[in-house]
Amino acid sequence: MIFNGDCLDILATFESESVDMIYLDPPFFTQKTQKLSDKNGKIYKFKDTWSSRKEYLAFMKARILSMKKLLKPTGSLFLHCDTSASWHLKILLDEIFGETNFRSEIIWCYKRWSNSQNGLLPNHQTIFLYSKTKNFKFNTIYGDYSPTTNIDQILQERERDKFGKAVYKKNSNGEIVSGKAKKGVPLSDVWEIPFLNPKAKERTGYPTQKPVELLERIIKISTDKGDLVLDPFCGSGTTLVSAKLLGRKFVGIDISKDAVEMAQKRLITPFKTDSTLLRVGVDSYKTKTERELKILSQFECDIVQRNRGIDAFLKKHYLGLPVALKIQKENETILEAINLLQNAGEKKKCSFTVLIYSKNENSMFLADEISVPKNMILLPVLDENLNFELQKRSAVSPF
């Protein structure tokens, strides 16, 4: 839902404590008119000129106050500052939300072309994060350990000795005690996300457009699926596009009719540069299960409908002949699956076939006791039950 108008008026019509997260990227008292044009030469602009800072701060104060009212007790607000942070706004936020509800100063940094000669290249922007109360919703995202981290730290339990020194824990036999599984390193407040490339497909032509990647991260850490996201200065609608892509409800407001029109257009086919959405075939949704689609999407393949023995063919041939893929169904034994694939593969003149079998606890180590045809390759899918997560195989740079 997008509204055209001054957010002060429109926010007043909403129900209080109904919003989970607010992201705003307001004008920043630059005293300039921001202008940019799209591929067709249409010019988009907005005015950021004010009679005084006092006027500007009064404008912002009224609007932020009504935003706070709309937030649920668990809700949070992200205020995005262009280039050099607006310190006066920071103090305004402290006033409205209380200093104890200040959570983070997020630094968004990127590399960018510029010919600034005398001084440092300004390559970051600041986002202030406030929560309405102490009990705010937060989904930690975990990342990888640094390559310099000592792995024993992660594996071994530790304790304090009688001198209070932290030492590795040993059991009564003097053996090392393994620690619990660790989740990884929590996300830091410095985010390196590429600046929206001038050539990016995602780019609309609207000034100060933000990358979807940035908004996705903000939405992920602060909301769950189905939650409501509000952007009172939505511009070209990046926040709304990201919210839609992530299955959140969203409301946008902008005073510019052009902006609202553009955001509406973008929302028809929400698009993220390098979208995963495009990769998953639309037709295939009907006959394959979600699980099978997940598995098949890990391969470069063409999905086959209505064939009991074959689920897909690899796009590339081997020895001039196709390669068939099959996923062991939940109601098939591995022997049944092998036979089905073998017969179908012969019919289709495959040089090789690949069976993706479900490793469950009973059959886990039986694979090599089974006679497998010479031109069949078995790959395991360790699934949900096993907690191994071997199946989560993420893409790397293009091979």
Report 45-84 residues binding a second copy (CB under 8 A): 83-84
**Between the CA of residue 77 and those of 142, 222, 248, what are the distances in Å?**
22, 9, 16
Cβ neighbour number for residue 368 with a 10 Å cutoff: 8
309 binds DNA (CB under 7 A): yes
Residues 167-186 touching a second copy, rule: CB under 8 A, are: 175-176, 178, 180-186
Question: Is the CB of 158 or the CB of 265 nearer to a second copy?
Answer: 158
- Burial category of 371 from C-beta neighbours within 10 Å (exposed 0-12, middle 13-18, buried 19 and up): exposed
Contacting DNA (CB under 7 A), which of 50, 59, 102, 168?
A: 168
> Is the CB of residue 220 less than 8 Å from the CB of residue 206?
no
Secondary element (H or E) of residue 326: strand 323-327
317 binds DNA (CB under 7 A): no
Cα 71 off chain centre by: 23
Contacting DNA (CB under 7 A), which of 159, 300, 336, 384?
A: 159
Contacting DNA (CB under 7 A), which of 47, 54, 201, 315?
A: 201
CB of 296 to a second copy, least distance (A): 9
Q: What is the DSSP string of 270-287?
A: ---SS-HHHHS-SGGGTT
Question: Is the CB of 277 or the CB of 319 nearer to DNA?
Answer: 277
**Piece in contact with a second copy (CB under 8 A), picked from 18-26, 250-258, 335-343, 390-398:** 390-398
Question: Is the CB of 67 or the CB of 344 nearer to DNA?
Answer: 344
Closest CA to 232 of 6, 50, 65: 6
Question: Is the CB of 161 or the CB of 361 nearer to DNA?
Answer: 161
**Between the CA of residue 156 and those of 181, 185, 305, what are the distances in Å?**
10, 16, 49
Residues 228-287 touching DNA, rule: CB under 7 A, are: 273, 275-278, 282, 287
Q: Which residue has the tokens 């050099």?
A: 84
52 binds DNA (CB under 7 A): no
Q: Give the total of residues touching DNA (CB under 7 A).
A: 65
- Burial category of 280 from C-beta neighbours within 10 Å (exposed 0-12, middle 13-18, buried 19 and up): middle
Residues in the chain: 399
Contacting a second copy (CB under 8 A), which of 41, 151, 162, 164?
A: 151
DSSP letter, residue 40: T
C-alpha–C-alpha distance, residues 311 and 355, integer Å:
10
166 binds a second copy (CB under 8 A): no
For residues 148-178, one letter each, b for 16 or more C-beta atoms within 10 angstroms of the residue's C-beta and e for the rest, the string is eeeeeeeeeeeeeeeeeeeeebeeeeeeeee
Residues 288-307 touching a second copy, rule: CB under 8 A, are: 293-294, 297-300, 302-305, 307
Residues 335-394 touching DNA, rule: CB under 7 A, are: 344, 347
Closest CA to 103 of 154, 152, 69, 138: 138
225 binds a second copy (CB under 8 A): no
Question: Is the CB of 12 or the CB of 390 nearer to a second copy?
Answer: 390
Contacting DNA (CB under 7 A), which of 53, 111, 315, 317?
A: 111
Question: Is the CB of 12 or the CB of 319 nearer to a second copy?
Answer: 319
Question: Is the CB of 117 or the CB of 331 nearer to a second copy?
Answer: 117
Contacting a second copy (CB under 8 A), which of 51, 117, 172, 173?
A: 117
Dihedral, CA of residue 256, residue 257, residue 263 and residue 268, to nearest 10: 170
Closest CA to 28 of 64, 63, 60: 60
Contacts of 169 (CB under 8 A, 6+ apart): 156, 157, 158, 159, 176, 177
Contacting DNA (CB under 7 A), which of 2, 3, 14, 25?
A: 25
- Binding partner selected for residue 96 from a second copy, DNA, none, CB under the kind-specific 5 to 8 Å limit: none
Which residues here bind DNA, judged by CB under 7 A?
25, 27-28, 30, 34, 36-37, 48, 80, 82, 110-119, 121-122, 145-146, 148-150, 152-154, 158-160, 165-168, 179, 182-185, 194-201, 207-208, 273, 275-278, 282, 287, 306-309, 344, 347
